[in-house]
Chains A and B, each alone.
Chain A
Amino acid sequence: AQSVTQPDIHITVSEGASLELRCNYSYGATPYLFWYVQSPGQGLQLLLKYFSGDTLVQGIKGFEAEFKRSQSSFNLRKPSVHWSDAAEYFCAVGARNTDKLIFGTGTRLQVFP
């Protein structure tokens, strides 16, 4: 069955520290992979996406993610977190010929000054 796992429900980091949010997926074919961010009281915004090619993808707000096929992972990283990065982050997987997205359960990021 297709699924997305975000093992960390809640992560707390200090401002300026590095960040890695984990995402593992189970999917039969080569998937499309996405990270979305949801700021408090807001809708979801696309951070970055992977379709093919270079396995390290750059997104908005200084985020990047690396697709590792052998580990079925698509972890999100940022070298230095800002207080404004506090939000909930969702990993999602989709197929190449359909708009159906499967979302993970989300990771809530808290940033301390």
Chain B
Amino acid sequence: EAQVTQNPRYLITVTGKKLTVTCSQNMNHEYMSWYRQDPGLGLRQIYYSMNVEVTDKGDVPEGYKVSRKEKRNFPLILESPSPNQTSLYFCASRATGGVPGELFFGEGSRLTVL
């Protein structure tokens, strides 16, 4: 089954404790992206990657890092999480040659930073 898989789905952590949210897709997509969803703000892009070893900042990259060493994986790293990073995070991918904006989303990772 074609899918985007995120882990963990739920996480409660404390300020300053490094964490990684993994994202993996099995569709051989080149484009991948991370979004955060906050009430009243919709979805905002954190980082995106056009291909392996190619990443770029989105609209809200502060406090986050990403890497793209393999086509299928695009982990989101929070080096020193803070309470304002409490949010619902989505990973998404797009088919190679597909229409810009036509995205496949993971089921989301709900992160709480105390």
Contact = CB atoms under 8 A, between A and B. Distances in A.
A92 B106 contact: no
B4 interface: yes
Given A44-B105, A103-B44, 12 more contacts: A41-B108, A43-B90, A49-B99, A51-B99, A90-B42, A90-B43, A94-B100, A94-B101, A99-B31, A99-B100, A101-B45, A105-B42
Contacts of A19: none
Interface of A: 4, 32, 34, 36, 41-46, 49, 51, 90, 92, 94-101, 103-106
A36 B42 CA distance: 12
Contact of A105 (B40, B58, B107, B108): B40
A32 B90 contact: no
Contacts of A43: 4, 90, 105-108
B99 A106 contact: no
B42 A99 contact: no
Interface of B: 4, 31, 33, 40-45, 48, 50, 58, 90, 92, 94, 99-103, 105-108
A92 B43 CA distance: 10
A59 to B, nearest CB: 12
B107 A46 contact: no
A34 B45 CA distance: 16
Nearest to A98: B100
B33 A42 contact: no
A46 B98 CA distance: 13
B107 A42 contact: yes
22 contacts: A36-B105, A41-B107, A41-B108, A42-B107, A43-B105, A43-B106, A45-B105, A46-B103, A49-B101, A51-B99, A94-B100, A95-B100, A97-B100, A99-B31, A99-B50, A99-B100, A99-B101, A100-B45, A101-B103, A103-B43, A104-B42, A105-B40
